[in-house]
A = this chain, B = another copy of it.
Amino acid sequence: MSVIAEYNIETQHYYGVVADEIDLCESDGSARIPMILKRLTGYGRSRFVEYMGWKLQGPLIILTCNEDMIPSNPVGYLLFDTFLTRFQDGPLTVVARLGEIFYRDEVAEASQNTTFVIHPLINVRRILPLGKKGKLIHAHPDFWLLSVYHSGYQSLMKHFKQSYKQRFCPLDVNYSSNDIEVETVEYDTKVSLNATNKPLSFTKHACKLKGHSLEKGISIRMLIYADKLIASDINLLFGLDVTLVQPINGELDRRDALDVVTNTFF
């Protein structure tokens, strides 16, 4: 319990609902159906997961996947302590024992062997064999698995095996409305809308202009950056350039994109 305590989400932060995502997440969670959330980066993936952690009152243990991970990362390590070897539970093992939410971020990056160790836990038997300890864990009834990935990597998921994809209930959340975006930025930056509505109104234009001069859309994260930066003494056009234009436009498209910014704001 002391282990779990620090993973509790105790504060409700603002989250703007897009569609049915909260209902589905609650239903999946209470039925312990493993879930895989697909959403564009910068549009509130972490925010949504944190919100669900608060709503479901489930401590949330995160494991950010990468392709060099080994099974010991989720399952645990053998450590050497005062004259003996002890097994330190990894995050997956902690959750399997104590029964909370195991949140795998960036699952599209996970190495196969860290994916396979999870299978017995989401099979009908819900077990986790600890080979290095010679023990078998029966998952706590509350154990639930929530996976998330950037939908920009959707093509990667096509390479996942059928036996993997079938184990997860997918949730594909669309772009937020502009209203949600405004409210999210306001909540996060705690800056009056007098300052923030400019980048936000720009966003509305930019969305329409996609395909013309802006290679990719502007995410909520970028709007928050812009908002925070504009709140300082920095030159306004320069601030918009480094937060909204440069991160998503190549050298060639940058001039056009800056023209759009200039025409929109000045």
Interface residues of A (CB under 8 A from B): 3, 6-7, 13, 20, 23-24, 26-28, 30-31, 33, 41-42, 46-47, 50, 61-71, 73, 77-85, 88-91, 94, 105-106, 109, 111-113, 116-117, 119-120, 123-125, 127, 129, 131-132, 134-136, 150, 152-153, 158, 161-163, 165-172, 188, 216, 219, 221-222, 225, 228-229, 231-235, 238-239, 242-243, 246-248, 250
Contacts and interface: CB of A to CB of B under 8 A. Distances in A.
Given A7-B136, A77-B132, A134-B94, A166 B229 contact: no
A230 B109 CA distance: 31
Contacts of A63: 129, 131
A32 B137 CA distance: 28
Contact of A62 (B81, B84, B120, B188): B120
Q: How many copies does the complex hold?
A: 6
Interface SS majority for chain A? mixed
B134 A3 contact: yes
Q: Considering the complex of A and B, which 3 residue pairs feature the smallest CB-CB distances, nearest first?
A: A41-B163, A27-B232, A31-B228
Given A163-B41, A166-B42, A169-B243, A24 B90 contact: no
Contacts of A71: 66, 68
Most buried by B among A170, A171, A233: A170
Most buried by B among A84, A158, A247: A247
Given A69-B113, A77-B78, A172-B246, 13 more contacts: A24-B238, A31-B232, A66-B71, A66-B117, A67-B112, A68-B70, A91-B134, A94-B134, A152-B161, A152-B162, A153-B161, A167-B221, A170-B246
Given A62-B120, A243-B169, A250 B50 contact: no
